[in-house]
Amino acid sequence: MTLLDDVSHRRFNPLTREWVLVSPHRTRRPWLGQTERAARPAEQAYDPECYLCPGNRRANGEVNPPYPQTLVFPNDFPALQPDASGAAINDSGLIVAEPERGIAKVVCFSPRHDLTLARMSVEEIEPVVKIWTEEYRALGAREEIRWVQIFENRGAMMGASNPHPHCQIWATESLPNEAVKELSSQRAYRSERGGCLLCDYLALELDAKARIVCENEHFVALTPFWAVWPFETLVLPRRHFGAMDEMSAAEARGLADALRRLTIRYDNLFEVAFPYSMGFHQSPTDGVAHPEWHFHAHFYPPLLRSATVRKFMVGFELLGSPQRDITPESAALRLRDAPESHYLDWPAAD
Ligand code: H2U
Ligand code: ZN
């Protein structure tokens, strides 16, 4: 890569078959634009105003039970309706719409309002992985559900409505855009080259080492060669499988451990509760086998150069292609160099 270290270039994303423009020579430009307030972790273990804390009332009037570990409930403001019906519209292939059935749920990771994945132990994250697995399996088994999207918006900057550790699940009748792109790329790769796109990619990255952030026996977190967001990462299992319900107990624990290590490094980068959107891409649940699909998680964090300066997707990025300044290699180096003990646990400096 040395040849491209200091020149504008574009990189190819084989999962989406899209390009990202990289401008490494531009990293020193001054910033006089908008700054954000640094995200501070919630301080109380229980917040009487929080609709996710145990014993509190939600918007629909229901009271949360005194849950000891995790809590799953149907989203009181669901973006999808299970019984959406009506005639599809198709006017000359130009004005096209169809009803979309689906289910939306909320999952609380912990009864503690002040925790985040980075502040939870592996033993505390394991039940979260178990709930994700059960929900993927149960929702995916429904005849009308073809895609189960588990995602976490963390931090007000990413639109999270509440610091209480939680994620959402949207299960849909059709495959969303990203799933369609990734499915077609993984299928084409398998039929043209005989192997798995992400298995082969992981082997290249393990060999190159430049973009590896952290790893354990079962999972590897890396900044993909084609990353768009400054500190974007991809979490990949070493073994080829499509979804959480194919994980062994050791792999489930390995996933909990990988998520913990990665989110601690994120928080330590700027010593803030690092905002991000993350989610899992698992095999479609459309009733056919998916030998091409390699389970993975994407982390898309918006912060760029400090706790208060974020990246915006504007201008050329909306009208052309996404663009980045710092290279994925330098982002990986900074994340790799960040300690694996959380900054809030560091001894106070005198
Ligand atoms: P976000 O933090 O990612 O916005 O997720 C919180 C979800 O919780 C959001 O989708 C739901 C919102 O609709 N919610 C309830 O289901 N019940 C409530 O009492 C408040 C919020
Ligand atoms: Zn709470």
Q: Is the pLDDT of residue 203 over 70?
A: yes
Is 166 considered catalytic here?
Answer: yes
Q: How far apart are CA 216 and CA 234, in angstroms?
A: 14
Q: Is the pLDDT of residue 26 over 70?
A: yes
Q: pLDDT band at residue 31, thresholds of 50, 70 and 90?
A: low
> Counting Cβ atoms within 10 Å, is residue 44 exposed (0-12), middle (13-18) or buried (19+)?
exposed
Q: Tell me which residue of 281, 323, 265, 19 sits closest to 132, measured CA to CA.
A: 281
Q: Is the pLDDT of residue 246 over 70?
A: yes
Is the minimum distance from the CB of 76 to ligand 1 under 6 angstroms?
yes
Residue 2 DSSP label: G
> Counting Cβ atoms within 10 Å, is residue 128 exposed (0-12), middle (13-18) or buried (19+)?
buried
Q: Is the pLDDT of residue 299 over 70?
A: yes
Q: What's the CA dihedral at 132, 138, 141, 147 to 10 degrees? A: -40
- Each residue of 248-288: pLDDT tens digit? 999 999 999 999 999 999 999 999 999 999 999 999 999 99
Predicted pLDDT of residue 350: 58
Ligand 2 centroid–CA 110 distance in Å is: 9
Is the minimum distance from the CB of 162 to ligand 1 under 6 angstroms?
yes
Overall residue count recorded for the chain in this entry: 350
Name the closest ligand to CA 105: 1
Q: Is the pLDDT of residue 211 over 80?
A: yes
Mean pLDDT along residues 146-159: 93
Residue whose CB lies within 8 A of the most ligand 1 atoms, among 76, 109, 150, for a mutation test: 76
Question: Residue 107 belongs to what H/E stretch?
Answer: strand 102-108
Task: Name the token pair of 328.
Answer: 């994925």
Question: What is the atom index within ligand 1 of the atom nearest the CA of 153?
Answer: 3
| CATH class of the domain comprising 2-28+35-345 | alpha beta
The residues spanned by each domain of the chain are: 2-28+35-345
Q: Tell me which residue of 188, 177, 341, 179 sits closest to 264, measured CA to CA.
A: 341
- Each residue of 53-108: pLDDT tens digit? 999 999 999 999 999 999 999 999 999 999 999 999 999 999 999 999 999 999 99
Is the minimum distance from the CB of 58 to ligand 1 under 6 angstroms?
yes
The percentage of residues in the chain with a pLDDT greater than 70, rounded to a whole number, is 97
**Summary mean pLDDT of the chain:** 94
Is the minimum distance from the CB of 59 to ligand 1 under 6 angstroms?
yes
Q: Is the pLDDT of residue 180 over 80?
A: yes
Predicted pLDDT of residue 1: 52
Q: Is the pLDDT of residue 349 over 60?
A: yes
Q: Is the pLDDT of residue 302 over 80?
A: yes
